[in-house]
Amino acid sequence: MDNRKKGLEDVIAVETKIAYIDGIKGILAYRGINVADLMDYSYEEVSHLLLKGYLPDESELSDYITTLRNERELDSGVIDILRICNKQADAMDVLRTAVSYISQYDADYNDNSVDANTRKAVKMIAKFPTIVAAFYRIINGLEPVSPDSELGHGANFLYMLKGTRPTELEAEIMEKDLILSAEHGLNASTFASRITASTLSDIHSAIISGICTLKGPLHGGARLGAMNMLDEIGSIDNVENFVEECIIAKKRIAGFGHRVYKTYDPRARVYRNLAKELSYEDAENGWYEIAERLEDVVNREFVKKSAKIIYPNVDFYAAVAYKYLSIPAQLSTSIFALGRVAGWTSHCLEQYEDNRLIRPRAKFIWRIYDK
């Protein structure tokens, strides 16, 4: 019997307690809490929720924050590695390299116990922003900025990137961006991480699998694609032509469409409001207006073409928000990874907890050698 589903669409491969997604109703919940209701929490609280299964109380949060903030700093070996990376490289490739280096010097190297894996997870959550920010400073001929332990996760990232403290609105948007990016069930990169973990390989290797998979343009790489697309469109007057050309050339529109959501991605709704808020502060740059028009035209044209709406996904309005925050496109997908590392590591811990090797079958369709 051929029960193959191309792209494993709708196949249930694992059980999880981490995220609930209803693609028809447009619901996403982390550990039972609707993602929209998590917007007033910090990324530190949300990463604790994902990793440990519950929101921390005051004293647990204080301990967790202390651990995370103490782990932000990079040792000089990592900075040396960042200095020899290709300055033109996408930050995802640099992140992958840095994690590989860090893994070899981890105090728990070769220890695959739950405690050691939890410690490694927290260290990766803490260090990812420092890696991306330091790489950005280095390629711009600047010295890396040390983390500021007084600042929250998102604000500290912007501070290390730009060397000045962000405004309250910028800090709030970055924090929410990291929360919205943190987790999404068995998406391709999380699946890749879980497959690696299921071989009982180490958690750093599993996270590198996740980074490599998130980078693709059909997944988190669409954030880069959407930023480049906004630049290419450039003005509201070019939107109609752009969409028409995409349809003629059968080119995918970055940041639109989703395997699971048959309605508006609930995260895109939040991002859209955030981007709108940013646009009030910066009336000169019309990114929000371009984005809104693009959404309308894509809706109209795809309904005409295939009687189906193609909705924006998490990457589209994230890219618009990044334009307002002057985030360089080269960093855009890696910033997604700064958020998603909490989801990846939580899934790895869940996989190790009740592991069975993930090993599906392929149907052989060529010919059998029979001597």
Q: Which residue has the tokens 């630049």?
A: 231
**In the bound complex, which residue of the shown chain has the CB atom lying closest to ligand OAA?**
187
State the Cα–Cα distance between residues 323 and 233, nearest whole angstrom: 13
Contact mark string toward ligand OAA, 147..186, x via CB under 6 A: -------------------------------------x--
**Residue closer to ligand OAA, measured from CB, 102 or 229:** 229
State the Cα–Cα distance between residues 82 and 352, nearest whole angstrom: 31
Maximum pairwise Cα distance, the chain: 74
260 binds, among ligand ACO, ligand OAA, none (CB under 5 to 8 A by kind): ligand OAA
Verify whether residue 315 is a known catalytic residue: yes
CA atoms within 13 A on the CB side of 63: 5
Neighbours of 214 (CB within 10 A): 27
> Which run of H or E residues covers position 22?
strand 19-22
Q: Tell the smallest beta-carbon distance from residue 329 to ligand ACO (Å).
A: 15
**165, 219, 262, 269: which one contacts ligand ACO (CB under 6 A)?**
219
Q: Which residue has the tokens 């007084």?
A: 150
> Which run of H or E residues covers position 29?
strand 27-30
**Interface with ligand ACO, residue 253, by CB under 6 A:** yes
Phi, psi (rounded to 5 degrees) for 91: -60, -20
Verify whether residue 153 is a known catalytic residue: no
Size of the site for ligand ACO (CB under 6 A): 19
**147, 152, 154, 257: which one contacts ligand ACO (CB under 6 A)?**
257
**Residue closer to ligand ACO, measured from CB, 145 or 246:** 246
Burial of 368 (0-12, 13-18, 19+ CB in 10 A): exposed
**Catalytic residue chosen out of the listed positions 90, 153, 315, 347:** 315
* 251-280 positions binding ligand OAA, by CB under 6 A: 259-260
> Which run of H or E residues covers position 77?
helix 76-84
Q: Which residue numbers are catalytic?
A: 258, 315
Q: Binding residues for ligand OAA, per CB under 6 A?
A: 184, 187, 259-260, 313-314
Q: Binding residues for ligand ACO, per CB under 6 A?
A: 7, 187, 218-220, 222, 252-259, 306, 310, 313-315
